[in-house]
Structure 1
Amino acid sequence: MRKPLPRRIPGESGVPSPEYPLNCPIITDTRALTRFADALRNWQPDTENRSRAQ
């Protein structure tokens, strides 16, 4: 079991310790994410209330 994370005190806590690294890599290619965001912005609900299975 992992040790609990240290408590953060506003104004006193600095940068998190390297003992607890971030798990997310930096995103370098955002094209797919941009396409997905654009599709969500342009999404319109189906006006006929049909299911996709038909």
Structure 2
Amino acid sequence: MHGEDDQIVPYQNACVKSAELLKNGKLIIYPGFPHGMPTTEAATINKELLAFIES
């Protein structure tokens, strides 16, 4: 999971390669979400994390 608007760790520099390296990696990019998205967008992030864990 990564916010498209993350100014601290731009997703092009970090998460694309990380998702490729993980055996069961899944990348979800949220348009407009910031670096602190687990706090500012907790409802969305928690829903996605739970779905991933249950899959």
TM-score (norm: length of structure 2): 0.26
More strand by share: 2
- Highest RCO, 1 vs 2 (Cα 8 Å, sep ≥ 6): 2
Higher gyration radius (CA): 1
TM-score (norm: length of structure 1): 0.27
